[in-house]
Structure 1
Amino acid sequence: MKFLLLIFFLFSLPGLGQEDEDKHLRDLEAQRRKQTEMAVKLEETRQNLQNNTYNAIEELKKLGHENITAASLLDEKVVKIVRKILVDSPIRQMPRERVKELILDKAKDNALGPFLLESPKVLDFLADVLMDKDALPALMGIFLRKDDLKYYFYLWIGIVIMGYLFKRFFVPVEWVGWKEILAAIAINIVIVCICVTVFYQTFKEELDPLLRVVGNYI
């Protein structure tokens, strides 16, 4: 009984419980400040991105384009504007975790948001691509090589036609069912491999920075 009274007396002394409570309050305050700072920095980054986008849209309108589309990327001036946006992007100066938060914030209102939450490696990959100084700007350089794109397009059509002719004239007509299906799959795989190889060899300089990032996840 005396022992219990002693324990009660000690805990009832002023300052003993107060210290734990004060420490808890300080921890909560520090956590709140950290969250506030992160929110402010995230908003600043979002605002910078919006300003960059706004300036880009104004430049696009001067060129006769309302926004960036596949068709507008055929305009060399549009491609240069997009590359400048990517090169000057403030995202590369941000911590990786903040970039991931920004991606999630942008994707929260569409189907990509839940997918990214369940796929942390994909989210990490996207963050690394956005933060890499060469990956996206170099990739956009493909659109500056119009002659090579035309060459590849014609070559792709030719390869597809050759694949069809090969199947039409060299695959035995008696091959039906699984044999015909397997032959078609094999021909399609060969076509895809040839097209991918030619595309890579043609645009190796533009693709290598992105593939370097991809290589970190293989």
Structure 2
Amino acid sequence: MDKLQLDQHISQQYNADLEKLRTQLLEMGGVVEDQVADAVNAIENADGGLAEKVLKTEDEVDRREVELDEACTLILARRQPAASDLRLVLMVAKATRDLERMGDEANKIAKMAIALNDEGESPRGYVELRHLASNVLKLVNTSLDAFARFDVYAAMKVVRDDKDIDREYKSSMRELITYMMEDPRSISRVMNVMWALRALERIGDHARNIAEHVIYLVHGMDVRHISPAEIEKQLEAKL
């Protein structure tokens, strides 16, 4: 397992500050992961109460984002980190933003759940939604686990699997567009499901971003905008 070993410092407080960054990011990730799962359950079960819970969770996610941003800024100002320490701080700052945006997408799904609940009918597309949601949640969980263990192989799995999410999303959208053309009365309801599918696809993209940040953290490689095959080729050259 390819893991990063962070430097240990004479200042125990510095070590504690870096470890706290990791813990806070993983805690925020857990909150967002639950938020996404609750949003999907809300739309599947027409549960307006659960959807409202998702919307209220946004305040906590925003608060955690601000706290992590402040913590990263303080470490940069006080410690002037270098090498792997600097990459950790920068990675946390970037991943925090991705998690916050995941929370925003979960909110969109919750709002679609409320709209569908008000309409009172179950539209076409729930099967596609459930399957995509299951795969996206796995992606989010694996990306956070990759960070927790500094695991480049797990991060690469997320990068590869995000391509499958994109294909599944496009396939589901084509099916639903065809269905709406055949039954125009369904357009309003099915559009809400399509927006939820779009939000899930975006959550998958943010999970991939976090995985790419992990690769940067461990190897110092900026792999944004590079194909999975090229990333693997560069990683092989590093090993």
TM-score, normalised with respect to structure 1: 0.33
The higher radius of gyration belongs to 1
TM-score, normalised with respect to structure 2: 0.31
